[in-house]
Amino acid sequence: MEAIGVLMMCPMSTYFEQELDKRFNLFRFWNFPQKEEFLKQHSSSIRAIVSNAWAGARPELIDALPSLEIVANHGVGVDQIDLGKCKEKGIRVTNTPDVLTEDVADLAIGLILATMRRISECDRYVRSGLWKKGDFKLTAKFSGKTVGIIGLGRIGTAIAKRAEAFGCPISYHSRSKKPDSNYEYYPNVVDLASNCHILVVACSLNDDTRHIINHEVIDALGPKGVIINIGRGAHIDELELVSALVEGQLGGAGLDVFEHEPEVPEQLLGIDNVVLLSHVGTGTVETREAIADLVIGNLEAHFLKKPLLTPVV
């Protein structure tokens, strides 16, 4: 398959690039500063795009590649891919569910603990020598707190199971009630927030879920509530979040994603009851290799005219 042109949108991992190089004619888009000229020169030979959460397949790119057959996404969320345009042109789209579920769920629990027990702040307290002047302040307990989850899919369910191990009652909001779930369902996000201590965002990003966390939801959660986001940055209205944290209207936040990555609102950097991560939910060696292998498996299946492993479109 070496003659098949594959356009990789941005750096992902050395392992992934090496494995793609073995099988395809790999174009690293970031190495070509003159993007329009590059696309004109290679448009007919590029038959696949490898995208991710930061760099996808927008309409203008799809239109510039007349030979494009498949967009293979390195991750679950496909909000950076114009699915409508792909359907219109008969371009297949794949993603990588399941292989990243455990890591993201683990990180969500880590963020809850780090935020409520102020682990990062306490670490800084010790490093700065302040412990010699007195004990660190008391924090909030996690075990037994009510956890509300927005999006009870694979990742949301995995988070719920982990939180149950901490004795936490679970409730959730999703597009519809899950018939196989015993967790309490709220058809309205504000009602969910009003009835939980910790609100975890684990849904996909679309027009309905963009800024699903707004001032009304934050007010319902209250000054002792905590928001955890391992979904997409645009799930939260960041201006409203910052305002609530600064004014003490929210108890804390653990954030792995931001609306304009890698930019982070400057005010968040100085707030102690916020834990900030750099979109590392899938960031383990094991999972990144598994994701890469699944992307490659989908590409190989497509070009060998076999059923796709994890099709979206």
How far is Cα 173 from Cα 186, in angstroms, rounded to an integer? 5
Residues 6+ apart with CB under 8 A from 181: 152, 157, 172
Q: Which of 60, 88, 164, 261 is catalytic?
A: 261
* SS3 (DSSP) at 287: helix
Residues 6+ apart with CB under 8 A from 24: 1, 2, 4, 5, 6, 48, 299
Q: Which H or E run contains 104?
A: helix 101-116
Beta bridge partners of 199: 148, 227
Q: Which of 42, 211, 215, 279 is catalytic?
A: 279
Does the annotation count 232 as an active-site position? Answer: yes
Q: Which of 173, 197, 232, 288 is catalytic?
A: 232
| Single-letter amino acid, residue 126 | V
Beta bridge partners of 57: 81
User: In 174-273, at which residue ranges do the beta strands (DSSP E only) sit?
Assistant: 184-185, 198-201, 226-229, 252-255
Angle of helix 101-116 versus helix 119-127 axis, rounded to 10? 60
Provide the 10 A C-beta neighbour count for residue 284: 15
Closest CA to 292 of 282, 307, 302: 282
How far is Cα 228 from Cα 32, in angstroms, rounded to an integer? 37
Closest CA to 213 of 246, 260, 253, 176: 253
Q: Which H or E run contains 297?
A: helix 285-303
The tokens describing 7, both together, are 């356009």
Residue that is written with structure tokens 């986001």 in the block: 229
Does the annotation count 261 as an active-site position? Answer: yes
Catalytic residue list: 232, 261, 279
